[in-house]
Amino acid sequence: MVRDGDILARWGGEEFTILLPETDLIQALILAERLRETIAKLSIVADETEINFTVSIGVAQKETEMSSIESLFNQADIFMYQAKQAGRNQVYGIYLA
């Protein structure tokens, strides 16, 4: 789902980040939703128990004037927690100027 040039990294214990250079917010939200749908379809059987997966995704866009990359990650983190609070398995994001 990610392209050459995109960067996927583990950000915390259960958190990952994907940096999408040259991608506008709409494209990032579409990718995030496709990723969410793909993960929601996953199912693993272990010890005769079916395990299903969900993901909560926060999407933020860095503009040239944004003070730091840290503020970008902080905003994405806020959106991820909003997605979790809204019932999980959702994508939240907004354009930041």
Question: How far apart, in whole angstroms, are the C-alpha atoms of residue 38 and residue 71?
Answer: 28
Is 14 a catalytic site residue?
Answer: yes
Residue 81: which residues within 8 A CB-CB, separation 6 or more? 56, 58
Catalytic residue among 14, 22, 48, 65: 14
Is 72 in a helix, a strand, or coil?
Answer: helix
Q: Dihedrals φ, ψ of 29, to 5°?
A: -65, -40
Question: How far apart, in whole angstroms, are the C-alpha atoms of residue 47 and residue 96?
Answer: 46
Give catalytic residue positions. 14
